[in-house]
Amino acid sequence: MNKTYLPSIDQKKKKWYLIDAKNKTLGRLATIITTLLQGKNNAMYTPFLNTGSYVVVVNAKYIKVTGNKYNDKLYYRHSRYPGSLKIENFKDLQNRIPERILEKAVKGMLPKGKLGRQFYKQLKIYSEESHPYTSQNIETINSNIYG
């Protein structure tokens, strides 16, 4: 009789990846990040366990979009009070809070629920080159290999 194998999850063994978002396309980069966060690149991937890694993204200010999305893509936020809907286009949001663009793209691709919130906490996004995780053993990912 076969036994079901479940991988043990040790926070100390989780890998850290560094991705440079300079001149990368928003959607393609978000899928790479989501894959790493969920651990789908690992042989020990289990859909209901957090076997993913930590992902640090730098240069989020320089992310690109294709077509007319630079002027036409809209981002909505609402405080749940009547009449408080705020609409902002990609260009304005990139000037104001460049990290939020990538955060919203990745969060929309993650599973909804408790596990998705755990994955989201493992994502660190910075608009410039510097980040405070230099002491971690960070492996640089060349996102050009993914397309």
Domain residue spans of the chain? 13-65+97-146
Question: What's the pLDDT at 143?
Answer: 62
**pLDDT-flagged residues of the chain (< 70):** 1, 11-12, 143-147
Q: Which residues contact 8 (CB under 8 A, 6 or more apart)?
A: none
Handedness of CA 37, 60, 25, 17 (dihedral sign): negative
Which tens digit of pLDDT belongs to each residue from 14-35? 899 999 999 999 999 999 999 9
User: Looking at residue 12, what is its pLDDT?
Assistant: 67
CA–CA separation, 82 and 96 (whole Å): 25
Match domain 13-65+97-146 to its CATH number in 3.90.1180.10, 3.40.50.720, 3.20.20.30, 3.40.1280.10.
3.90.1180.10
Burial of 26 (0-12, 13-18, 19+ CB in 10 A): buried
pTM given for the model: 0.91
103 closest CA partner among 30, 54, 31: 30
DSSP string across 37-55: HHTTTSTT--TTS----EE
